[in-house]
Amino acid sequence: MIIPVLLAGGVGSRLWPMSRELFPKQCINLVDSTKSLIQQTAERSVSVGMAEAPIVVCNDEHRFLIAQQMADSGIKADIVLEPAGRNTAPAIALAAFQALSRDASAIMVVLPADHVIKNHALFGSALEEAVSQAKSGQIVTFGVQPTYAETGYGYIQAESKDAVSKVKAFKEKPDQQTAEAYLAEGGYYWNSGMFVFGAQAYLDELKNLQPAIFAAVEKAYAGHHSDLDFIRIDADAFAESPSDSIDYAIMEKTEKAMVVPYTGDWNDIGAWAALYDLNEKDENGNVHMGDVLTHDAKNNFIRSESRLVAAIGVEGLAIVETKDAVAVVPRERAQDVKFIVNQLKAAGRTEHEIHTKVYRPWGAYEGVDQGKRHQVKNIMVKPGEKLSVQMHHHRAEHWIVVSGTANITIGEETKLVSENESVYIPLGEVHALENPGKIPLELIEVQTGSYLGEDDIVRFTDRYGRS
């Protein structure tokens, strides 16, 4: 059994303001207007012949978002939740235990959920070779044939050029001169972060080389249980695991490391400059995404999400607009966006964490207006879904149904509310909202009160297991 494993625990802060902590880059339609990166990765695994349900490893905060992404793709997956980030070595170990629960001889194909590969045929050919090596007990990684002297990637030095071979050495991100020397010499590949190995072979190497990680993850998985669409593990046991990447924990130490050369396209979408490289340019070298106009502008990446963006007389920029933020940066410094994210965190702001549109297991809400003692939201509840039974200490709410039908409980009274009707929920009153219909329920919520934070919620019952 060949099982794809999708690692979906990252955030992608260098793609701010699109990527946020609670809506990470793997869940964004960055390359394909209809599919997110994780959906493309899942569908790619199917297109190259991996018919088994994937195992997705993600953090707890993203669980409902990831589940919805998989459901929208029509791909059933085992979603294993990391209660805390411990890097890739422990995350892959969790997936290995889950794979073994399905097949004692399972081969794992470990794929970061945020990479782009368009040439599925070439990837499929490299995958066949990697699987063949994995069946003989090897720990296999893909080495991407470099097309230029990139300083932002680690490199793999192979013992033999242009052929499947043992790994001679792993190299840290080089300076420009060293990267050019690697390219000229040959036998050096970009470290893709993609791996193929037997689940048991990986755990055996982990137990031998990193016994503390193995022991903690084994104990954590032993306490696993199902929760809705998710597989939860023992959080306390997992917290005992050292944090380490598979490269440092296993690949640089094992005697079984093999590298399969991959000569097709590959991009890890590390920053906005990568999106510029992936997209078609106009006659002036500009990439336009969304409502964009330019004049006397050259070689820019411009993405608009909510309004017209006009660029005049500028060159070599990445300009990215969302409803609550605009980033402008020279393309060659696109990775420096992370410094703005750090400033937002230090200032206690929220623009690094959430968008104006926030996704919940029952649907989504979007901020429309906010003042000192009021806040207006547009709320969408999916058919058959229900918000928690809750109350607020500091705010009252007024709901106006725009489309669909709402089943609303206020105190002891429950009633159906349809389009153009409204209800008032006094401060401190227990209430609930449900969509009993077949179409999405849309309503406008007006909050008034002395404190309007999302943490002013006391939940009494919740079908999604939130506290």
Cα(375)–Cα(367) distance, integer angstroms: 8
What pLDDT was estimated at residue 152? Answer: 87
Residue 32: its pLDDT value, please?
A: 87
For residue range 375-392, list pLDDT tens digits in order. Answer: 999 999 999 999 999 999
pLDDT band at 51 (very low <50, low <70, confident <90, very high): confident
The answer, yes or no, to whether residue 467 has pLDDT greater than 80, is no
Q: Stretch 320-326: mean pLDDT, rounded?
A: 97
Over pLDDT 90: what percentage of the chain?
Answer: 93
Task: Report how far residue 334's alpha carbon sits from residue 337's, in angstroms, rounded to the nearest whole number.
Answer: 6
List domains and CATH numbers for the chain.
2-262 (3.90.550.10), 272-342 (no CATH), 357-461 (2.60.120.10)
Handedness of CA 229, 233, 235, 241 (dihedral sign): negative
- In this prediction, residue 94 carries a pLDDT of 98
Q: Are 256 and 167 in contact (CB under 8 A)?
A: no
Mean pLDDT of 351-380: 93
Q: Tell me what pLDDT residue 229 has.
A: 86
DSSP class of 331? G
For residues 460 and 430, the answer to whether their CB atoms sit within 8 Å is: yes
pLDDT tens digit string along 62-112?
A: 999 999 999 999 999 999 999 999 999 999 999 999 999 999 999 999 999
Amino acid letter for position 107? I
pLDDT in tens, 157-193: 999 988 899 999 999 999 999 999 999 999 999 999 9
Cis peptide before 17 (omega within 30 of 0): yes
On average, the pLDDT of the chain sits at 95
* pLDDT score for 11: 85
Q: How many Cβ atoms are within 10 Å of 460's Cβ, its own excluded?
A: 10
> Which helix (H) or strand (E) segment is 124 a member of?
helix 120-135
What's the pLDDT score for residue 10? 85
Rounded CA gap, 275 and 318, in Å?
Answer: 10
